[in-house]
Amino acid sequence: MAISKILLYYKFTPIADPKAVMLWQRDLCEGLGLRGRILISEHGINGTVGGDIDACKKYLRKTKDYPGFHDMEFKWSEGGAEDFPKLSVKVRDEIVAFGVPGELKVDDQGVVGGGVHLKPEEVNELVEKHGDEVVFFDGRNAMEAEIGRFRDAVVPDVETTHDFIAEIESGKYDDLKDKPVVTYCTGGIRCEVLSSLMINRGFKEVYQIDGGIVRYGEKYGNKGLWEGSLYVFDKRMHMEFGEDYKRVGHCIHCGDPSNKFEHCVNEDTCRELVLMCPDCHGSVASRHCGREDCRQVAAELAAAEAR
Ligand SMILES: [Zn+2]
Ligand SMILES: [Zn+2]
């Protein structure tokens, strides 16, 4: 059987003609039978594609032919084309949607005016040096932090990346403006942008972690400053850096440990993903998000099932 893989990558680099790059990338992927999702803007590229391992290798090589992408890092992951419904290659105003396309500045070195990049060991050195002064600032959606986060991290109240601007302008975090702040996210891309937006708004000492939580976790497992599970955007929904991970998340119904987000049973009107333990998810009556109308729908479904 042929071996399949998934490639994850991003690069901030000026792209003079995003449309031309989009058409080239689409042709390239179609020709190689790859599926996935690629976003291109005048600031760079952000993609996840899967397929046959040889096709992935060819894709990587051809993509690096583009001058701005020659030193782009590709991360290999388990999976394949079947993990994606189709191939989607699009031009967008932003490759990460913060809602401020005009603010981000990019040159051939990457994002201009972003946070200082730290390797995983440099993160620990910073904390050893400054102790509790160092603040970890979660650059993900608040939901993702429910199952894992850096120790004592600040988790902003954001549902989507679009909410960050209002959040950091709200005044809630003004006491962090003179402290060392380490932004972090899954693979590092969101913090490339977020750290620059924070610096533009008066945060004086902002850092970001090279390769994000993924690289930090690969280096330190559960023995470092990361605690819990990592939310991931594929059907697994979560991953751990070894079995000895801290149980951070809890079932919304019974409070038992859980690291698995489940859909509310009231699918017609509710898109909510909530933490449920296998027992509570296993019973229709409790397979809801906690909202009153959803609880009622669950109760009705359970009654119908019992009939
Ligand atoms: Zn439960
Ligand atoms: Zn619901």
Q: How many CB atoms lie within 10 A of CB 172?
A: 12
CA 292 / ligand 2 centre spacing (Å): 8
What span, in angstroms and rounded, lies between the C-alpha atoms of 254 and 256?
6
pLDDT value, residue 119 = 98
What span, in angstroms and rounded, lies between the C-alpha atoms of 251 and 230?
16
For residue 78, pLDDT beyond 90: no
Give the confidence band of 213 by pLDDT, cuts at 50, 70, 90. Answer: very high
Instruction: Please list, residue by residue across 5-36, b when 16 or more beta carbons sit within 10 angstroms of its beta carbon and e when fewer do.
Output: bbbbbbbbbebeebeebbebbbebbeebebbb
Instruction: Please list, residue by residue across 207-231, b when 16 or more beta carbons sit within 10 angstroms of its beta carbon and e when fewer do.
Output: bbbbbbbbbbbebbeeebbbbbbbb
Dump pLDDT digits (tens) for 158-205. 999 999 999 999 999 999 999 999 999 999 999 999 999 999 999 999
Length of the chain: 307
What span, in angstroms and rounded, lies between the C-alpha atoms of 64 and 47?
13
Dump pLDDT digits (tens) for 244-300. 999 999 999 999 999 999 999 999 999 999 999 999 999 999 999 999 999 999 999
Q: Which domains does the chain have, with CATH numbers?
A: 4-95 (3.30.70.100), 106-239 (3.40.250.10), 261-306 (no CATH)
Dump pLDDT digits (tens) for 215-230. 999 999 999 999 999 9
For tokens 């397929």, name the residue. 51
Residues serving a catalytic function are: 185
CA 65 / ligand 2 centre spacing (Å): 47
Dump pLDDT digits (tens) for 137-151. 999 999 999 999 999
Token pair for 270: 């509710």
For residue 234, pLDDT beyond 80: no
Q: In terms of Cα–Cα distance, which of 107, 115, 62, 56 is closest to 81?
A: 56
CA 98 / ligand 2 centre spacing (Å): 26
Which ligand is in closest contact with the Cα of 293?
2
Which ligand is in closest contact with the Cα of 288?
2
Q: Which residues contact 4 (CB under 8 A, 6 or more apart)?
A: 50, 51, 52, 53, 79, 80, 81, 82
What residues pack around ion ligand 1 (CB closer than 5 A)? 251, 253-254, 256, 277, 280
